[in-house]
Amino acid sequence: MRVSFMGTPAFALPSLTALMAAGHDICLVVTQPDRPAGRGRVPTPPPVKLAAQELGLPILQPEKVGEPAVMSALQAAQPEAIIVVAYGQLLPKPILTLPPHGCLNLHASLLPKYRGAAPIPQAIIQGETVTGVTIMQIEARMDAGPILMQQPEPIGDRDTTGTVGERLAIIGAELLCQALDQVARKTVHPIPQDERLATYAPKLLPADTHLDWARDARALDCLVRGLCPAPGAVTGFGGRRVKVLEATVEAVADSSPGTVCAVDQKKGILIAAKSGGLWLTQVQPENRRAMAATEFASGYRVRPGDVFGPS
């Protein structure tokens, strides 16, 4: 089938390459503009742009997908369907109605749960044990279109947004190709979403990343894993922000939340929460590289009785 692909981050790459491998004709790739990144704020192309360049595909990088130039390019490309994977913008109605087979989206949750920009981190932060992928027809409302196919995927105790995202990207790419084949053969059976079960996963804000040691250790562990590898859960020590990149739950005798209960040269730094505690094993101090918590404890002279708190 002749398709246009809209996507931006690494999560979208398996879908792009799977569509190519399945023999579909990618007539146009639409992705976000280059954005400043890193300490030098150097303009950096999104992963989908780099992949499309390697594949020799035509690329469009509009600031807004509703720009007239986008519609003109799509009309010229004449896609039979538009595939959207983590593109980052809602499509206007003129684009939704352009291709004869419609617009299909790969979403990283079992819709109608976790509609929105951050379905994987929010599922882990909420302590879910199962998530999955959904292929749906796009409509004007965000992530509310009829479901074509779904596949669940378990979330393990040590899974992070990074590990789950890698698996869902591959599972979703395979499912996307199957769904597109069914659309082409007109054998697909869209199922409306049950609005009563809808939940939302909005974009994460800096305020969502703070570790509140007055919460249970299990909830803090979910937050650390849900924010890994980026943006990272944050706490404070000695007036310095510290990202917690890895941690494990441990039983702790009664101690005030945030108090350092132990420093171990193999395990790291044990901090009390409201119930239980966390062994910090990998951290990143502000403006420093990531390091083992044991190295941080040695360098910053962390001792039992010290207190981690608001960043």
> Residue 139: which pLDDT band, with cuts at 50, 70 and 90?
very high
* Residue ranges at the known binding site for (6S)-5,6,7,8-tetrahydrofolate: 109-112
Q: What backbone torsions phi and psi does residue 23 show, to the nearest 5 degrees?
A: 95, 10
- The first and second tokens of residue 94, run together, are 């003129």
* Residue ranges at the known binding site: 109-112
Residue that is written with structure tokens 């807004």 in the block = 64
Burial class (CB in 10 A: 0-12, 13-18, 19+), 117: middle
> Residue 40: which pLDDT band, with cuts at 50, 70 and 90?
confident
Over the stretch 58-93, which tens digit does the pLDDT of each residue have?
999 999 999 999 999 999 999 999 999 999 999 999
Record the pTM.
0.93
Residue that is written with structure tokens 């979703």 in the block = 172
Q: Are the beta carbons of 69 and 49 closer than 8 angstroms?
A: no
Please tell me the distance from the alpha carbon of residue 132 to that of residue 108, in angstroms, as a whole number.
6
Over the stretch 230-279, which tens digit does the pLDDT of each residue have?
999 999 999 999 999 999 999 988 899 999 999 999 999 999 999 999 99
